[in-house]
Amino acid sequence: MTISKKLKKSMEQGSWIRKMFEEGILLKSKIGADKVYDLSLGNPIFEPPSKFTQLLKEYIEKPTAGLHRYMPNAGLPETRSAVAKNLSTEIGLRFTKDDIVMTCGAGGALNIIIKTLLDPGDEIIVLAPYFAEYFFYADNHGGKCVVLDHDSNFMPNLSMLDDVVNEKTKMVIVNSPNNPSGVVYPKTVLDELGIIIKNLELKYGRDIFIVSDEPYRKIIYDDTSYNHIFSSHPNTIVATSHSKDLGLAGERIGYVAVNPNNENKTEIIDGLTFSNRVLGFVNAPALMQHLITHLQSETVNIEQYKINRDFLWENLTEIGYEVIKPQGAFYMFPKSPIEDDLAYVSKLRENNVLVVPGSGFGSPGYFRISYCVDDHTLKGSIEGFRKVFRDHR
């Protein structure tokens, strides 16, 4: 054996999204990319806001001396202050730079949070349908994910939380706006979660953190409001990135924000900073930190995402699919017309439409459509959705 046995096993579990991605490449090379309607990936299609380029230009004209050097592991003080200021305005709690750690995207953020909070053997509750990477992130640090199921509206079955939490539970991950369902948890759900967790903390005599993974926070439609987690419980931490709201997914820039009212926040921030260092992130990329300092109130134009959502939802509903209209993110999660979502997704692929089976998100019987795609892809996919639906009626 050359590589790690443990890693090999993880790799074999693989990822549905990645699998679809590879099958998509194969199909595209066979019949031509323009004939394949690939709705399998959540790769933002927009360029960053024009202010991004303008700031880059200003930087070149007047470079900050020493910007590209090592810095404190938590990030540039001015960037952390700008993030804190924006959060204070948005949320109405008083954040300072000492509540913020800049990270390599939300993936980096979640990894340093898990390393900071979990001991080997500890458990994380994930709410189905979930982003499958959580399982790998937990495993990186000796942790284990345990799933809490959802109701027909993709809301967590909070009444079942008591059954899945035990003396090893250290964290619950909330992801709203949700990937893959596009639902946004209402404040009542977050508050109920907070109350139940408080009781479970008393029952087991240990802290249990609610970690909100919210890279889609600013991608919200209609009159839906973003509900922050901080007022629901003091043991709350946000992990996020500018991948989607500023179109910077490849630049790996995000942050962790710890509840300013948490009584152990200094210890937590110190742990996050240390974890950022020893996991090899060291610090979030310097130039991006510098740029996003001045982009905290900017967002890519999400109007096109809304147009895509409406077009897709109207067409799928008209065909006969059962699908909840998403309130955020850029995914839709229809019910598979047959129980076997893997088989249904295969049928769609035979008709040149690529989507991801719900099994990859802990919710068999559904499939995920990403609508952050161009017009040709979105419109071209409808015929395949219609044909396969009719064939299975």
Q: Which of residues 204-243 bind a copy of itself (CB under 8 A)?
A: 206-207, 243
- Find the part of the chain contacting a copy of itself (CB under 8 A) among 180-188, 282-290, 308-316, 381-389: 282-290
* Interaction residues for a copy of itself, span 121-150 (CB under 8 A): 122, 133, 136-137, 140, 142
Q: Which residue in 90, 50, 19, 33 sits closest to 380, CA to CA?
A: 33
* 250 lines the binding site for a copy of itself (CB under 8 A): yes
* Interaction residues for a copy of itself, span 30-49 (CB under 8 A): 41, 43-45, 47-48
* 287 lines the binding site for a copy of itself (CB under 8 A): yes
- Find the part of the chain contacting a copy of itself (CB under 8 A) among 5-13, 123-131, 152-160, 177-185: 5-13
* 315 lines the binding site for a copy of itself (CB under 8 A): no
- Find the part of the chain contacting a copy of itself (CB under 8 A) among 91-99, 105-113, 314-322, 345-353: 105-113
* Interaction residues for a copy of itself, span 187-206 (CB under 8 A): 206
**Alpha-carbon distance 311 to 307, whole Å?**
6
* 69 lines the binding site for a copy of itself (CB under 8 A): yes
- Find the part of the chain contacting a copy of itself (CB under 8 A) among 99-107, 123-131, 148-156, 355-363: 99-107
* 53 lines the binding site for a copy of itself (CB under 8 A): yes
* 376 lines the binding site for a copy of itself (CB under 8 A): no
| Nearer of residues 32 and 250 to a copy of itself, judged by Cβ | 250
* 270 lines the binding site for a copy of itself (CB under 8 A): yes
Query: Of residues 26, 32, 35, 68, which one binds a copy of itself by CB under 8 A?
Result: 68
Place of tokens 């990186």: 140
Provide the angle, in degrees to the nearest 10, between the axes of the packed helices 16-31 and 341-350.
20
* 17 lines the binding site for a copy of itself (CB under 8 A): no
Query: Of residues 87, 184, 189, 286, which one binds a copy of itself by CB under 8 A?
Result: 286
* 115 lines the binding site for a copy of itself (CB under 8 A): yes
# residues near a copy of itself by CB under 8 A? 76
Query: Of residues 30, 60, 153, 393, which one binds a copy of itself by CB under 8 A?
Result: 60
| Nearer of residues 54 and 346 to a copy of itself, judged by Cβ | 54
* 151 lines the binding site for a copy of itself (CB under 8 A): no
| Nearer of residues 105 and 362 to a copy of itself, judged by Cβ | 105
Strand partners, 19: none
* 4 lines the binding site for a copy of itself (CB under 8 A): yes
